[in-house]
Amino acid sequence: MTEENKEFINAYIFMTYENMLKTLEKGRLKVLFPEECNDPFEFMSAPPTKLPDGYTSFDNNYLRKEYGFLSFSKTYKSPTMWAHYADNHKGCCVHFRFPALPEQNSQCRILAPQTNPSYEYRRLLIEHEGDHFFPIQNAETKEITNYVILWNVLYQKERAKFDGILSGYTVYGNQAEFRINYVFCTKDESWGYEQEQRIIIPTLFPTEVEDNLIFVRGFNPYIKSVMLGMHCPYSEGLTQSLINAFTLGEKNGTKITYSSKKCDCISVSRVKPTSNTFEVISDEHEDFLKFLNEKGK
């Protein structure tokens, strides 16, 4: 699988209006850590697995402190997501569009593969200097490339067991099959409505700390649009002006000058109820997606 197979995928993050403005002003995303999530089972495995020798077992408590993640959803249309994560429909949803390889299927084949479910992931075709799970060295040039992987969360009834293996990959010709421990991407079936995808962020990743919160750069350039909730009190026009100031403007004293690159403009729209379902939709956003698909970008 080569970069000739490149396609574009849409991913969404719900947040308050204020956090959206901070995200664009600062040019960074907040990293989530298990201890601050609303699901207490994040990165929590079933009881430690004992190996056949009867002596060795694995404890994964350190994972909850040494690894965080960026959380995306495959959809912006869920009213439940707007209620839970976008200030009860008063916030917004930020739309990312990542270049990526087609979705791949993988599973941990080292220990009892017949009992392990398969899961899906995408390798994102984005450049990032951060240290990732998957550095691959070119056999000829010895150059190391850090791959960014977007994992689909796997929803099931039982918690995953931690077998001590964090991650890995196998190279087949010019393509690589990646695998990750199920602990990082497994949640209870009741969370399935979130349609979550995540990028795992090790603490070794270059991050920024402010007010005891951890942030990461490098993903904001892939923001294409922002959708306001049905009850968001701020207008599309005001929001567009603020976003343009943060993303296209350069401050010179009290004045702001703007870039002439209209293609860099982040579009703003508002969602509304669909005509016959319980979903919400933005007609402007749907038209924007069609435009991007037609242009192949």
- Residues 140-183 have pLDDT tens digits of 888 878 889 999 999 999 998 887 888 888 877 677 888 888 89
Domain membership of residue 162 (yes or no) is yes
Task: With respect to residue 172, please indicate whether it lies within any of the assigned structural domains.
Answer: yes
Domain range for 116: 3-233
pLDDT reported for residue 262: 46
Question: 18 and 210 in contact (C-beta within 8 Å)?
Answer: no
Query: What 8-state DSSP symbol labels residue 137?
Result: E
pLDDT of residue 190: 97
In a domain, 182, yes or no: yes
**Cα distances (angstroms) measured from residue 251 to each of 20, 41, 206, 246, 267:** 20, 44, 27, 9, 21
pTM to 2 decimal places: 0.89
pLDDT of residue 212: 85
Please tell me the total count of domains within the chain.
1
pLDDT at 55 (0 to 100): 61
| Collapsed DSSP state (helix, strand, coil) of residue 256 | strand
Do residues 176 and 169 make contact, with C-beta atoms less than 8 angstroms apart? yes
Model pLDDT, residue 115: 60
Question: Would 168 be classed as within a structural domain?
Answer: yes
Q: Which portions of the chain are predicted below pLDDT 50? A: 1, 253-254, 261-263
pLDDT at 62: 84
What per-residue confidence (pLDDT) applies to 253?
A: 47
Tell me if 112 is assigned to some domain: yes
- The pLDDT assigned to 171 comes to 78
The verdict on residue 252 lying in a domain is no
Domain membership flag for residue 260: no
